[in-house]
């Protein structure tokens, strides 16, 4: 379909969402059964990483969106309330960062309810946005999210700009806003343990090139970071270089994901797609 460049509030040429996934050790508990040792570094996020991210966002007066597992929201309730009090959005990211595409519908429904309820209990209001762990979904996920009151999802990597998507083939008029992401703008492939750790300056140079291309071609730029990775000292220093680069362009709208989703839901340029295809076997 022909590409129509998005338009944003106040004439901004590019919407920028800075997003941060994982909030504690729930993933490590799920994978290893405990939260210790070299492979279980999730505790670094609430211990050091999240605060460094918050301080950076404060220095620049810009908002972020934190996608948080329900288990971690419950354990680190005080820190999560601090995130919200400092002006940032909190979305949901599963219950313990499950292998989401392997879930049965009833289990998926229950885990969505548990994660939504845990975040709502801590903050006094439920999250409006969802990002599935690892970006994995089932054929039921979108409909279950819609039924649970979500307004947008950020699990797909199939477009350059936000769009509207039907939640299922038999519910073509029920839609969610989708805020797409992409692996080259996720810090995990660059910093994840055992994946060939890359120097921060090299990662940020790549992301600066990605932003410049988004500014020229698409008008939407979304980074996915993990405080357990990007919250480390040299990486947060490098990440601030990216923020300054975006600020220097003078044409960016730093926004919470919920703000972008709400804006895109009402715009004539927003693409509209049918539900994802399902194999006919």
d(CA 34, CA 15): 39
The domain 9-273: what is its CATH number?
A: 3.20.20.370
Per-residue pLDDT tens digits for 125-172: 999 999 999 999 999 999 999 999 999 999 999 999 999 999 999 999
The pLDDT value given to residue 187: 97
d(CA 185, CA 93): 18
What predicted TM-score, i.e. pTM, was given to this entire model?
Answer: 0.97
The long-range contacts involving 155-159, CB below 8 angstroms and separated by at least 24 positions, are 155/130, 155/131, 155/181, 156/180, 156/181, 157/181, 157/182, 157/183, 159/271
Average pLDDT over residues 103-112: 98
Pairing of strands 14-21, 252-254: parallel
The pLDDT value given to residue 2: 87
Query: Is 1 a residue whose pLDDT tops 90?
Result: no
Express as a percent the part of the chain with pLDDT over 70. Answer: 99
Query: Is 281 a residue whose pLDDT tops 70?
Result: no
d(CA 239, CA 224): 12
Mean pLDDT lowest for which of 36-45, 168-177, 221-230, 240-249?
A: 36-45
Express as a percent the part of the chain with pLDDT over 90. Answer: 93
d(CA 53, CA 50): 5
The whole-chain average pLDDT of the chain stands at 96
Average pLDDT over residues 192-196: 75
Q: How far is CA 117 from the centre of its chain?
A: 19
d(CA 19, CA 123): 18
What's the longest Cα–Cα distance across the chain?
54
d(CA 26, CA 32): 10
d(CA 235, CA 128): 29
For residue 243, what pLDDT band results from cuts at 50, 70 and 90?
Answer: very high
Per-residue pLDDT tens digits for 29-86: 998 999 998 878 899 999 999 999 999 999 999 999 999 999 999 999 999 999 999 9
d(CA 118, CA 69): 9
């Amino acid at each position: 379909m022909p590409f129509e460049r998005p338009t944003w509030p106040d004439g901004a040429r590019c919407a920028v969402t800075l997003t941060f996934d994982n909030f504690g050790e729930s993933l490590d508990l799920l994978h290893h059964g405990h939260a210790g040792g070299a492979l279980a570094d999730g505790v670094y996020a609430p211990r050091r990483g999240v605060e460094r991210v918050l301080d950076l966002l404060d220095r620049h007066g810009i908002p972020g969106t934190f996608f948080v597992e329900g288990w971690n929201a419950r354990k680190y309730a005080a820190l999560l309330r601090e995130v919200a009090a400092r002006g940032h959005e909190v979305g949901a990211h599963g219950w313990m960062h499950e292998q989401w595409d392997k879930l049965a519908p009833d289990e998926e429904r229950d885990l969505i309810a548990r994660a939504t309820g845990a975040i709502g209990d801590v903050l006094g209001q439920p999250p409006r946005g969802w990002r599935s762990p690892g970006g994995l979904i089932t054929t039921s996920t979108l409909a279950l999210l819609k039924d649970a009151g979500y307004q947008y999802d950020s699990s797909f990597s199939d477009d350059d700009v936000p769009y509207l998507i039907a939640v299922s083939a038999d519910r073509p008029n029920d839609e969610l806003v989708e805020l797409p992401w992409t692996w080259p703008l996720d810090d995990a492939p660059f910093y994840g343990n055992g994946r060939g750790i890359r120097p921060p300056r090299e990662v940020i140079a790549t992301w600066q090139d990605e932003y410049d291309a988004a500014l020229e071609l698409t008008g939407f730029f979304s980074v996915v970071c993990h405080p357990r990775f990007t919250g480390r000292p040299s990486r947060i220093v490098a990440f601030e270089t990216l923020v300054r680069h975006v600020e220097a362009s003078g044409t960016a709208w730093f926004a919470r994901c919920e703000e972008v989703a709400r804006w895109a839901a009402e715009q004539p340029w927003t693409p509209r797609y049918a539900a994802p295809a399902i194999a006919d076997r």
